[in-house]
């Protein structure tokens, strides 16, 4: 999900040089998104920093378990579609074998960029050889879902909620299309077509969330769970997560995502052609306003 006329590189103003913190607590690596001012909106600066952090945790034999968390009130409001640090027009040293996106014309630009920073990186993190836990509080919206879903386990606080509202942009869900794997198909349709918030309690009913805890105890509960995992044999953990991931592949997860990725980019292109904006005329402000209205907030 990207957008609008990309700001020129010179216009990018990062509020921090470290959008991700890397901390260790015994055998557990805590990878913490740290843009609380912008509800941990993911710009490329953050996705590359996340990739560095996952790489670091995988390289360190002393780390047995990886936790992905967000600083502040919310886990993640999604992809960055409107902060001063929005950096769609910036090149980064790529982690996958794609060409640079910034000099590509029209639809090819976002198609190339999102293969790397969204779909490609999410798949890479999902396949990390160590168990991963998402610690989710507050909003886990659109691009935020992708980060929670790549983790093996999800622990949510009571006030967490999940939402993919991008149909309002004319887009059939975010780039990592796990919706119909995380939820039964009819519920996935409801989730996407209405674009409403799903509470942690309802998400747990469908098995999208493993456990719900209070916000105050989220960190300690996740650490306790991580320590239990850390006591298991390393290779056994890796093989076990791979076995379940393989079942998902046999059910068609990868090919389903590839198919949806192309629909997603057809929708970006259609938005651009009809409204001059790949987000179908929406921006961060209009999406926040519509979401608040839908949720009955003023």
Least distance in Å: CB of 109 to Zn ion?
11
Sheet of 28-33: strand order equals 20-25, 28-33, 65-70, 132-136, 153-157, 211-213
Closer CB to Zn ion, residue 80 or residue 114? 114
Closer CB to Zn ion, residue 131 or residue 143? 143
Closer CB to Zn ion, residue 106 or residue 239? 106
Print burial letters for 197-208: b (CB count within 10 Å at least 16), e (below 16): bbbbebbbeeeb
Least distance in Å: CB of 165 to Zn ion?
14
Residue nearest to Zn ion (CB): 1
Tokens 């983790």 locate to 151
What's the token pair of residue 52?
A: 């560095």
Closer CB to Zn ion, residue 1 or residue 212? 1
Cβ atoms of 132 and 152 within 8 Å: the answer is yes
Closer CB to Zn ion, residue 251 or residue 262? 262
Cα–Cα–Cα angle for 158, 160, 166, rounded to 5 degrees: 155
Q: What residues line the site for Zn ion (CB under 5 A)? A: 1, 114
Query: Quick count: other Cβ atoms within 10 Å of Cβ 139?
Result: 23
């Amino acid at each position: 999900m990207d957008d609008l006329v990309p700001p020129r590189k010179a216009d990018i103003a990062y509020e921090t040089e470290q959008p991700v913190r890397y901390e260790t607590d015994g055998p557990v690596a805590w990878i913490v998104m740290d843009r609380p001012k912008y509800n941990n909106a993911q710009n490329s600066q953050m996705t590359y920093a996340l990739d560095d952090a996952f790489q670091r945790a995988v390289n360190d034999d002393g780390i047995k378990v990886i936790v992905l968390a967000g600083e502040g009130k919310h886990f993640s409001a999604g992809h960055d579609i409107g902060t001063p640090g929005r950096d769609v027009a910036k090149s980064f040293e790529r982690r996958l074998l794609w060409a640079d996106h910034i000099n590509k014309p029209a639809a090819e630009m976002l198609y190339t960029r999102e293969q790397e920073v969204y779909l490609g990186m999410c798949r890479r993190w999902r396949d990390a050889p160590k168990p991963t836990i998402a610690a989710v509080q507050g909003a886990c919206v659109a691009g935020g879902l992708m980060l929670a879903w790549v983790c093996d386990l999800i622990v949510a606080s009571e006030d967490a909620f999940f939402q993919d509202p991008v149909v309002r942009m004319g887009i059939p869900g975010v780039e990592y299309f796990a919706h119909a794997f995380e939820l039964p198909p009819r519920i996935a349709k409801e989730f996407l077509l209405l674009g409403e918030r799903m509470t942690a309690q309802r998400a747990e009913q469908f098995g999208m969330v493993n456990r719900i805890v209070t916000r105050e105890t989220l960190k300690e509960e996740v650490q306790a769970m991580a320590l239990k995992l850390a006591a298991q044999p390393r290779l056994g953990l890796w093989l076990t997560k791979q076995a379940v991931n393989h079942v998902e592949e046999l059910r068609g997860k990868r090919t389903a995502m590839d198919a949806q990725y192309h629909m997603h980019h057809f929708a970006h292109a259609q938005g651009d052609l009809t409204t001059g904006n790949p987000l179908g005329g929406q921006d961060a402000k209009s999406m926040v306003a519509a979401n608040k209205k839908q949720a009955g907030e003023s």
